[in-house]
């Protein structure tokens, strides 16, 4: 949306979207469904593994927040002012962030990246998610279930910006979707002692830093 890198983008407010449970301490940051795997969903055959972060966090309940931004954009040759989600974050603690690094996935081949490439996940449907890795199969199933050629309706909690929360009460675990235009880069904010304080995904701004 904000395609002019010289135009400042202003964070207008931070909104708490929901809380989510991560009892395993292992976090998936990926798409809840993958368009490339649609035919596998329909046939009930195995799909690619989720993009689980290599870093671990303490098992617990965490806030999920949206950073809203305001700025001009162009649509069919006309200029407008708009507000949209620029980033979504999982707040692991309220301690101040002393430094940032990219969040690498367990299956990421960092050595195989070409110059200028960064580890990221793709999102054809412009949606990503945070999810407890231990309950991933159950949590992502509502997005991937087809019966008689139709997607099954899912029992979901509606959240701001068209996001939703899926819960697995047997494991006390959650999945929360967020806006991720064309995919996202994951950033880890670490405290002065090296602990992870926040996990951020920039939305639609592939070159942005947290």
Exposure on the CB side of residue 71, measured as CA atoms within 13 A: 17
pLDDT tops 70 at residue 150: no
- Cα distances (angstroms) measured from residue 210 to each of 52, 55, 97, 130, 169: 20, 17, 11, 17, 32
Cα–Cα separations (whole angstroms), residue 161 to 122, 191, 210: 20, 29, 20
- Report how far residue 94's alpha carbon sits from residue 106's, in angstroms, rounded to the nearest whole number: 26
Residue 6 has pLDDT above 90, yes or no: no
Distance CA(15)–CA(193), nearest Å, equals: 27
Q: Answer whether 200's CB lies under 8 Å from 184's CB.
A: no
Q: What is the DSSP letter of 191?
A: -
CB of 41 closer than 8 Å to CB of 33: yes
Q: Please report the pLDDT score of residue 40 as a whole number.
A: 60
Give the closest residue to 144 by CA, choosing from 24, 42, 12.
Answer: 42
Question: Count of residues for the chain?
Answer: 210
Quote the pTM value. 0.78
Top pLDDT among 175 and 159 is at: 175
Burial of 132 (C-beta count, 10 Å sphere; 0-12/13-18/19+): buried
**Highest mean pLDDT, choosing among 6-20, 52-66, 158-172:** 52-66
* Rounded distance between C-alpha atoms, residue 47 and residue 39, angstroms: 10
Span 177-182, average pLDDT: 78
Partnered with residue 91 across adjacent β-strands are 63, 198
Q: Report how far apart, in Å, the C-alpha atoms of 77 and of each of 2, 72, 73, 181, 204 are.
A: 14, 12, 10, 21, 20
Task: Decide which of 83 and 104 is more confident.
Answer: 104
Q: Which of the listed ranges 28-32, 41-45, 79-83, 159-163 does the model predict with the highest average pLDDT? A: 28-32
pLDDT in tens, 36-72: 666 565 566 566 788 899 999 999 999 999 887 766 6
| CB proximity list for 9: less than 8 A, separation 6 or greater | 2, 69, 70, 71, 86, 205
Closest CA to 55 of 13, 131, 106: 106
């Amino acid at each position: 949306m904000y395609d002019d890198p010289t135009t400042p983008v202003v964070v207008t407010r931070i909104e708490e979207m929901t809380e989510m449970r991560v009892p395993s301490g292992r976090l998936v940051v990926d798409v809840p469904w993958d368009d490339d795997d649609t035919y596998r969903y329909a046939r009930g055959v195995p799909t690619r593994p989720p993009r689980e972060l290599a870093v671990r966090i303490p098992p617990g309940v965490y806030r999920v927040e949206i950073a809203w931004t305001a700025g001009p954009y162009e649509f069919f040759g006309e200029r407008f002012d708009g507000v949209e989600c620029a980033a979504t974050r999982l707040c692991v603690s309220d301690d101040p962030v002393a430094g940032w690094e990219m969040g690498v996935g367990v299956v990421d081949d960092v050595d195989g990246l070409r110059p200028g490439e960064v580890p990221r996940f793709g999102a054809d449907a412009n949606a990503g998610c945070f999810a407890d890795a231990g309950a991933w199969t159950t949590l992502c199933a509502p997005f991937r279930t087809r019966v008689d050629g139709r997607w099954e309706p899912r029992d979901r909690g509606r959240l701001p910006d068209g996001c939703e929360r899926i819960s697995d009460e047997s494991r006390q675990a959650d999945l929360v979707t967020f806006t991720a235009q064309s995919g996202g880069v994951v950033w880890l904010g670490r405290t002065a002692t090296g602990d992870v304080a926040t996990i951020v995904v920039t939305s639609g701004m592939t070159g942005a830093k947290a």
